[in-house]
Amino acid sequence: MVGDPGEIRAVAARVRADADRVRWLAGRVAATGEVSWHSPAADLFRTAVAEQADALRRCAGALEDASRLVELHAAAVASARTELARLLAAGVEVGTTVGARVAGAW
């Protein structure tokens, strides 16, 4: 539960931006396969380019998934901090190590 939800959301935003850049790169890589020459080597080149562009698109999808999970983590941390603050304000004994550390961070 450690961390600032705002900082965690900033990490999610950076990961999401990385996904966008990787997706853009995949488009650029795919475009290199639009060569005008015809030969067995050109066919192999087009196949390799398509495979690499697909791999980059999968990577971008995985980064998007990671970004969503980091956002969920930020929400969970915010919720836990809110609940802990409520308990501390109500005078509930939360545990000296966790309660003192989190209370001191606010």
Q: How open is the CA angle 68-14-11, to the nearest 5 degrees?
A: 65
Q: List the chain domain ranges.
A: 5-105
Higher pLDDT, 106 or 86: 86
DSSP string, 44-70: HHHHHHHHHHHHHHHHHHHHHHHHHHH
Instruction: Please report the pLDDT score of residue 28 as a whole number.
Output: 97
Express each pLDDT in 57-101 by its tens digit: 999 999 999 999 999 999 999 999 999 899 999 988 877 555 555
CA–CA gap between residue 84 and residue 94 (Å, rounded): 8
Model's pTM, two decimal places? Answer: 0.77
Q: Quick one: pLDDT band at residue 1, thresholds 50, 70, 90?
A: very low
Instruction: Please report the pLDDT score of residue 101 as a whole number.
Output: 55
Amino acid identity for residue 87 in this structure? L
